[in-house]
Amino acid sequence: MKVCIAEKPSVAKDIAEVLGAKQRRDGFYEGNGYQVTWTFGHFCTLKEPHDYYEQWRFWRLEDLPMIPSGFGIKLIENSGVQRQFKIIEQLVQESEEVINCGDAGQEGELIQRWVLLKAKCAVPVKRLWISSLTEEAIREGFQKLKEAEQYNNLYAAGSARAIGDWLLGMNATRLFTKKFAQGKVVLSIGRVQTPTLAMIVQRQKEINAFVSEEYWELKTIYRETEFTAAIDRLKNIDKANKGLEYLKQHPFEITSFERKEGKEGNPRLFDLTALQVEANKKYAYSADDTLKHVQSLYEKKLVTYPRVDTTYLSEDLHPKIAGIMEDLTPYKALIAPILANPIPKLKSVFDDKKVTDHHAIIPTGMYPEGLHLDEKRIYDLIARRFIAAFYPECKIANTTVLGKVGQVPFKATGKQILEPGWKEVYANDVTEKKEGEEEEEKILPVFVAGESGPHQPKVHKGKTTPPKPYTEATLLRAMETAGKQVEDEEMRELLKDNGIGRPSTRANIIETLFRRKYIEKKKKNIFATQTGMDLIDTIQSELLKSPELTGTWERKLRLIEKGEYAMETFKQELIEMVTDLTREVKTSSYKVITIAPDAPPPPEPKPKAAVVIEELKCPKCKTHTVKKGNTAYGCSNYSVCGFKLPFEVLGKKLTDKQITDLLNKGKTGKIKGLKVPGSDTEKEARLVFNADFNLGME
């Protein structure tokens, strides 16, 4: 029997359907010589400090640095995980071959390898490597299964990343907390989160230190066109008024009129970061929300694998593009001009050298049905960007007009769209702009050098403005380029190897900083809190907070992935760094850091497996699973069984853990603030099922 292990139940179901494994068993599908089972994301994690030595359970400076002689893994402490793992373990032990069907990326590889390691897999392992979950892609993937050994470097990079994060996170967090924190405050330090916070703090300091200054500019209107004096801004009103009087005494004269035709290149296909940037700019979606929406679209077979960092397609996809286009029926009118001719093999779209494990995010061609608004918006962004990539370039004319009034030079610029090209795809979308494009189309009349005439001069008063605070869009770009301000798309591609974090992890890093109250959001803007600023000020080591240095670690991880750098070398470098850092901090002194008492950050977070409640058995009939509705979970055989568990009970919205406890154990832990029916009083109590599976308080 061949055992396939997918990363999610929904993916396992799709794979089982294609393979003909149609018999549903407890925790897997079976049939046609296959057993298809699943994880729910991370099942294993690196062991915690106290798993190595009992004294490491306690946070003491004298025990630092903690450097295990070897790193081990363990199952996450979750009843659902442990139950499903036993099923996987038994299937693996009895199998003739295992097929790793995890998500085709570094994190997916790590999740599955750790599960197989924990299950003591001793049989041959193959790898399913696909970029979409359509039936055609799954079928083709099984016809071209890879040897697991081909992905050993990918696994090594994932392991090195996890070990590096453990070494730095566990040691530095305890080190700074015990040295500088007051009371129960935990100062969280991370390989990626700390330099990200440092960028935000640096920008915050620039904003706080900024002193706005007034300035005056000389402007004039000639032939209904506004010209600005091409001189330094004036620092006082007297000079401006003298300039204005001078301008009134002289006519306006055109000295030069230049009109250059050019092209605006098509927008690149989306990688994950670019999609998150666009969704934040256009819909104010957080990076995390965009990742969830596009992941859902991927699992619904509507788009290709999303956790990618390339904006190119592999050249072997070229023959399939027309077919995908033809299937995008909601965009039929936009696609018709493309399909009127053979699809061009554009260098800006197809490049094998720019594609590693996966290509850019594109639609699969499946019809997008039953999507909620957020998913529709993300799908529309991806589909239009895909279509726009194959349209003609946008032809423009840039006009520069120079003039003078007496001896004062003036200038006006304008831009005219001659042929919209790819911009037709966004003709009804006024929010769509290429990155860095701010000005609307400004058409200037035709001027002739030497012409002159009367004009209406004026003084314009302005104020200098501080640097703009980060939004999630600009922060994601800064993480991608290790803090460098880069507008050019090709240059950004070159810097990606040195970016901090990976496309799939950056959203979580930003959410972690929010959760720990190191940063906060006001409208779309991100600001550092006082705690975040104090933490960065306390860290003297540039290694910990420099985006460029963190970017070099990220580049080494990518080299490990390519087989060009040794995992053991990377680990030793981090051990040396942690050892030096510990020595430095133990002997240093700085102010104590406090934090708002109502919002302490959580201590040493552990990776949590997603609680897949829909995989739990109905406690009433004990036969069927529960199913999520709009306001409650209910038995999947509700019409017969009748079991229902509301999301909100006695004025409290239940957490996933509380719902899981009720379904597994029949009761929750103590919950504060439960409202007593028929009164305004509140109690701390457990929720329990009675004999009829109705909820009561205990």
Kind and range of the H or E element at 640?
helix 638-641
Q: Which residues contact 205 (CB under 8 A, 6 or more apart)?
A: 533
Phi, psi (rounded to 5 degrees) for 256 = -160, 140
Phi, psi (rounded to 5 degrees) for 31 = 150, 155
The neighbouring-strand residues paired with 37 are 5, 28
Q: Which residues contact 301 (CB under 8 A, 6 or more apart)?
A: 14, 132, 133, 134, 364, 366
Pairing mode of beta strands 28-31, 146-147: unpaired
305 among known catalytic residues: yes
Residue 621, exposed/middle/buried by CB under 10 A (0-12, 13-18, 19+)?
middle
What is the C-alpha to C-alpha distance for residues 537 and 555, in angstroms, rounded to an integer?
A: 27
Q: Which one, of 312, 301, 319, lies nearest residue 269 by Cα? A: 312
What is the C-alpha to C-alpha distance for residues 578 and 147, in angstroms, rounded to an integer?
A: 37
Residue 215 contacts residue 463 (beta carbons within 8 Å) = yes
What is the C-alpha to C-alpha distance for residues 410 and 357, in angstroms, rounded to an integer?
A: 53
Residue 123 contacts residue 92 (beta carbons within 8 Å) = yes
Residue 615 contacts residue 632 (beta carbons within 8 Å) = no
Query: What sections of 319-457 are H helices per DSSP?
Result: 321-327, 332-339, 373-388
What is the maximum span of the chain, computed from C-alpha positions, in angstroms?
97
Give the other-Cβ count within 10 Å of 213's Cβ.
10
Residue 324 contacts residue 363 (beta carbons within 8 Å) = yes
What is the C-alpha to C-alpha distance for residues 482 and 3, in angstroms, rounded to an integer?
A: 42
Q: Which one, of 37, 16, 42, lies nearest residue 27 by Cα? A: 37
- Beta-sheet strands, E only, within 124-267: 125-127, 146-147, 214-222, 225-229, 252-264
Q: Which one, of 541, 548, 556, 544, lies nearest residue 499 by Cα? A: 548
First to last CA, the chain: 49
What is the C-alpha to C-alpha distance for residues 258 and 497, in angstroms, rounded to an integer?
A: 41
The residue count for the chain: 698
What is the C-alpha to C-alpha distance for residues 392 and 665, in angstroms, rounded to an integer?
A: 62
**Strand order from edge to edge, sheet including 644-646:** 626-628, 632-635, 644-646
What is the C-alpha to C-alpha distance for residues 220 and 244, in angstroms, rounded to an integer?
A: 10
Catalytic residue among 155, 298, 305, 518: 305
Proportion of the chain in helix, strand, coil states, percent, rounded to 5: 40, 20, 35
Active site residues: 305
